[in-house]
A and B are shown apart, each in its own frame.
Chain A
Amino acid sequence: MDTELILKVYPYFLQAAVVTIELSILTILLGLVCGALGAAARLSRLAGIRFLGAAYVSFFRGTPALIQLFLLYFGGPQIGIQLDAFQAGVIGLGINIGAYMTETMRGAIIAIDRGQGEAARTLGLSRMQAFRNVVLPQALRLMIRPLGVNINAQIKGTALVSAISVVELTYTAQRYIGSTYKPFEMFLLAGVLYLVIITTVGKGVAYLDRKVRLP
């Protein structure tokens, strides 16, 4: 193994890792917003809205994220959507992971015992008050770990944007292979950096979960 080469290129990989982290943060934030809206739609009392939520989930979970990304980045200009690669990456992957987060959030909300909402309504709380003060605080605790799974998948999923030339970790590894012909070292280095990011985030999620856990 060429350790000298690794030491020489790793600062560039660190820079690329920063891009991966930025992509992760932005896609996850967008995903959380889409997930919350999606879950609200899926649980709406209006059938039309429920249908929209279900359609969103089935389209984005039922097609490859790579196709969605290509559709947006390469196909977008044809219908007047001009985005640079980074923007397309954030929007495409954010909306994609939002579909998974929709199901995670919805699952946590419907897992809360019906009696909780009933008890709140019985005291005179409105539907919204009951949701905000009784159901949601419990559902949020329940969704931390499964959202952590979505987030884990999403961090790894940012590698897809290398296919539309965003200079993040995977793309950087491929580029250095072109000039060094050392795929083992380059992919290993990228892999280690992914591992560091994912392990750190995983520990953060576990900490948060412990912190808000009920006695």
Chain B
Amino acid sequence: MTQHFVEIRHAQKSYGTLEVLKDISLDVERGQIVAIIGPSGSGKSTLLRAINDLDPLTGGEVWLDGVQVNKTLPHRQYEKHINEMRQQIGMVFQHFNLFPHLTVRENVTMAPKLLKKISDKEANALAEEQLDHVGMLERIDYYPAQLSGGQKQRVAIARALAMKPKLMLFDEATSALDPELVEEVNLVMKQLAQEHMTMIIVTHEMDFAASVCDRVIFMDKGVVVEEGPPEQVFKTPTQERTRNFLRKHLEGAK
């Protein structure tokens, strides 16, 4: 058993001789919002994708709400187990990954219909509720290609929320967006924060991380260099590498 809502223990990941995650341990409490920042190649996306086993770890454990996500099981049993775990972990991708052959409504209802065997009527009600939540109800019968990037990402968030996840993972959710479209997605994420959704957010947006997150984790070269409340990490970083990264990032922003 574990004490924390999300617990990552000694996470290690190698591709051949290249070690991208080096013994990372991390806890997240229920309702907490954690940002993971760091230069590209630092392993932050890999760590996020290990939480729902999209990129399986080569060593270490991931626990969610007292259940080990990446437990060792025979192939068939593992498939069943991981599919059940993933239903509890929503994920939002940089490139949205909406299903282009389905309408907005169908994007949201597909998984609940297949996995929770709900009726068409319930599915429609669910789609309307979730899309209303992200302000996309008006576009319910559009296809993804007919939406702007910000709208696509809001639909992708609604699609993930329709499975009623316990935890939401955001993998650079606003990095592919035009600057003027970032805010609408940030607003939806802030709203989720107010509803006490547990979230782990990989991001390049320091302002957003500072304003929304309870904790910031700075990663570099596969290790957690520094972590703490946003004010501390951003204003008084204790590590040289953190200071360098933040300085470069601020210069880049100008």
Residue ranges of A at the interface with B (Cβ–Cβ < 8 Å): 113, 115-116, 118-127, 129, 133-134, 137-138, 141, 214-215
Contacts and interface: CB of A to CB of B under 8 A. Distances in A.
Interface in B38-53: 52
B139 interface: no
A122 B165 CA distance: 11
B187 interface: no
A124 B163 contact: yes
Question: Looking at B84, B86, B95, B101, which has the most chain A CB atoms within 10 Å of its CB?
Answer: B101
Interface string B232-251: 00000000000000000000
B79 A126 contact: yes
Given A127-B79, A133-B114, A215-B143, A121 B97 contact: no
A113 B98 CA distance: 11
Contacts of A137: 101
Interface residues of B, number: 28
7 contacts: A115-B93, A116-B99, A118-B54, A119-B98, A120-B99, A122-B54, A123-B163
Contacts of B52: 122
Contacts of A115: 93, 95, 97
Contacts of A214: 100-101, 143, 145
A124 B84 contact: yes
A124 B146 CA distance: 26
Contact of A121 (B54, B99, B101, B160): B54
Contacts of A129: 114
Nearest to A136: B101
Contacts of A118: 54, 93, 97
A214 B106 CA distance: 14
Contacts of A119: 91, 93, 97-99, 156
Nearest to B89: A122
Interface in B49-98: 52, 54, 79, 83-84, 86-87, 89-91, 93, 95, 97-98
Nearest to B106: A133
Nearest to A115: B97
Interface of B: 52, 54, 79, 83-84, 86-87, 89-91, 93, 95, 97-101, 110-111, 114-115, 143, 145-146, 156, 159-160, 163
A191 B54 CA distance: 55
B87 A124 contact: yes
Contacts of B79: 126-127
A123 B160 contact: yes
Contact of A123 (B87, B95, B100, B143): B87
Contacts of A133: 110, 114
A127 B93 CA distance: 19
A113 B144 CA distance: 15
Nearest to B100: A214
Contacts of B159: 123
A137 B99 CA distance: 10
Nearest to A113: B97
B54 A124 contact: no
A126 B101 contact: no
Question: Looking at B54, B84, B91, B100, which has the most chain A CB atoms within 10 Å of its CB?
Answer: B100
B31 to A, nearest CB: 22
A126 B84 CA distance: 10
A138 B100 contact: yes
Contacts of B90: 122
B35 to A, nearest CB: 20
Contacts of A121: 54, 86
A125 B83 CA distance: 6
Contact of A125 (B89, B98, B114, B145): B114
B145 A124 contact: no
